[in-house]
Amino acid sequence: MATKINSIKGTNDLLPDGTPALKAHTVASAHTHVTNIARRVLERAGAQFIATPIFEEAELVKRGVGGSTDIVRKEMYTVTYFGGHGGYILRPEGTAGIVRAYLQNGLKQLPAPLKLWTHGPMFRAENVQAGRYRQFHQVDYEVLGSADALVDAEAIALMVDVVRALGLTGVRVKLGSIGDPADRDSYNEYLRGLFSPQLERLSDDSKDRLTRNPMRILDSKSAEDQALLRELNVRPMLDFLGAEASAHFAEVQAYLAAWGVEYDLDPSIVRGLDYYRRTAWELHHEGVGAKSALGGGGRYDGLSAQLGGPEVPGIGWAFGIERLLLALEAEGVGLPQTPGPLLYLAAMDTENVGLAAQTALGARAVARVEFAYKAQKPGNAFKDAERRRARYAAVIGTDEAERRVLNLKNLVSGEQREVSLDDLNAVLTELESN
C-alpha cells in the first residue's frame, strides 16, 4: 500500500463545518467570516481590495522587510522550479508587495491618500507553536500618499473597529513611536554603548544584532537577553525622538484620545520589520499569550524609496486571522456557521431523480438548493435534509411529478405547503427573505 502523505509542519488545512475535531483556527467558514467583517469595516472607510502574488523577487523582501530581521535572516521560503533559478520568495508579509504594486502600476495617479486592503496566506519558517504557524493568514490594510498624523490615528481606530465588529473585547493597543531614521541612529548608538561591555552575556543572535541593528536585541526571545535587559534598565526609544517625530506622535495620540480609542503607551515597542518609522503599534489579547500579538502596524515613509520609487509616505497594519480566531475562542464568541440550504429536494423513485435535480438547478437562480443523487424514502430524505441543516425539504413522487407540484415541508415547524413548480422560485424568494 502506498504511504500516506501529510501536510507540511506548521501549515493548516482550512476545513468545512462539521469536520471531526475541528480546531478554531482551521474553520474555513470562520476565516471567511473574519474577512467579510474586515471587508465591511475597511470598505466603508474607503479602502479598495488589492491582491498581489504570493511569490516575489527575493530582493523585494530583503530590501523591504530588512536584512537585520529574523524574517529575512532565518525564515524565508525560497521558491525554486525545475530548471529555473531560486531567486523568488514566498511572501512573509503583504506590505512590501503592495508598495511594489503601487509603484509598478502607477497607483500614485489615484486620489491620495490611497487606502488598500487585502487578505491571504503568508509564509515564515518560524518555530511552530500555538498561534505561530509557517503558513498563516493576514488581513492587511495600507494607506499610501499621506504623512498626516490623522491617517495614523484613523488606521489604528479602524484596526480596533475590525476586532470589535468581530465581537472581541479583551484587546489592548500598545502604542509607541520608533522615530525618524536619525532618532533611531542615535538610539542604536546609545544601545551599542550600553551592550558592548556586556557582549559575552548576550545570546549569539544578539551579538549579531549588536552589529546589524541593536534595537532588535530589545525584541529578543532569549531568556538571558531579557534578564540582561531588565538589569541594564535600558532607556526607551521614546526618549530619543526628535522634535518632528515627537510632535507627530503627540498629534496621533491627541486624535485617539479625542475619539475615545483606548491605548497603552508602550515606550519599548520595536516591531519585527525594518521599514517602520514614527508611529508603531501592536494589538494584544490575553487569550493568545502575553508575547503574541493579534496584529501590528506602523508608518513606513521610507519604504517606497528603498524599493526604487519616489518618496511616498505610507502606513498600515495586519492582523493574523488564526490568532484572531484563537482569541475569539478564548472569549467564547460563537461564529456563524455557513447556513444550510433553503431547500433539499429528493425523488422517491429513480425515474424522478432527474426531475428533482432539474428543479433544484432552476431554483438556484434564487436560493441555495440541494438535491439527492439517488432515490430516497421520505423518512431518509427528511433525515438527510436535517443533517445538511436545510430549512425546507420536499420529496417528489409520481403524483407530484404528474401534477408538477412540490410539498414543501418546513423542517422546524413540520408544516407542509403545496407549491406549483411554476411558482417555486417566487415562493423561495419570499421564504429566503424571512
Q: Provide the residue type at 388 as one letter.
A: R
Q: Which is nearer to ligand HAM, 126 or 208 (CB)?
A: 126
What are the residues binding ligand HAM (CB under 6 A)?
A: 93-95, 124, 126, 131-133, 136, 138, 140, 142, 272-273, 293-298, 300, 316-320, 322-323
Q: Is 124 annotated as a binding residue?
A: yes
Q: Which is nearer to ligand HAM, 145 or 341 (CB)?
A: 145
DSSP assignment letter at 324: H
Q: What are phi and psi of 299, to 5 degrees?
A: -90, 145
Contacts 24+ apart (CB under 8 A), 230-236: 232/194, 232/195, 232/198, 234/191, 234/194, 234/268, 235/190, 236/176, 236/267, 236/268
CB of 289 to ligand HAM, least distance (A): 11
* CA–CA gap between residue 156 and residue 378 (Å, rounded): 56
CB of 399 to ligand HAM, least distance (A): 57
CB of 56 to ligand HAM, least distance (A): 13
Q: What are phi and psi of 295, to 5 degrees?
A: -170, 170
Q: Is 275 annotated as a binding residue?
A: yes
Q: Is 57 annotated as a binding residue?
A: no
Q: Is 235 annotated as a binding residue?
A: no
CB of 112 to ligand HAM, least distance (A): 17
Q: Which is nearer to ligand HAM, 130 or 426 (CB)?
A: 130
Q: Is 88 annotated as a binding residue?
A: no
CB of 315 to ligand HAM, least distance (A): 7
CB of 432 to ligand HAM, least distance (A): 37
- Residue 24 CB coordination number (10 Å): 15
Q: Which is nearer to ligand HAM, 187 or 300 (CB)?
A: 300
* CA–CA gap between residue 415 and residue 77 (Å, rounded): 58
Containing 282, the helix (H) or strand (E) segment is strand 279-285
Q: Which is nearer to ligand HAM, 294 or 346 (CB)?
A: 294
Q: In what order do the strands lie in the sheet with 78-79?
A: 55-57, 88-90, 78-79
CB of 10 to ligand HAM, least distance (A): 8
Q: Is 398 annotated as a binding residue?
A: no
DSSP output for 120-136? EEEE--PPPBTTB-SEE
Contacts of 129 (CB under 8 A, 6+ apart): none
Q: Which is nearer to ligand HAM, 275 or 392 (CB)?
A: 275
The neighbouring-strand residues paired with 417 are 408
Q: Which is nearer to ligand HAM, 121 or 236 (CB)?
A: 121
Q: Is 142 annotated as a binding residue?
A: yes
Annotated binding-site ranges for L-histidine = 93-95, 124, 138, 142, 271, 275-276
Annotated binding-site ranges = 93-95, 124, 138, 142, 271, 275-276
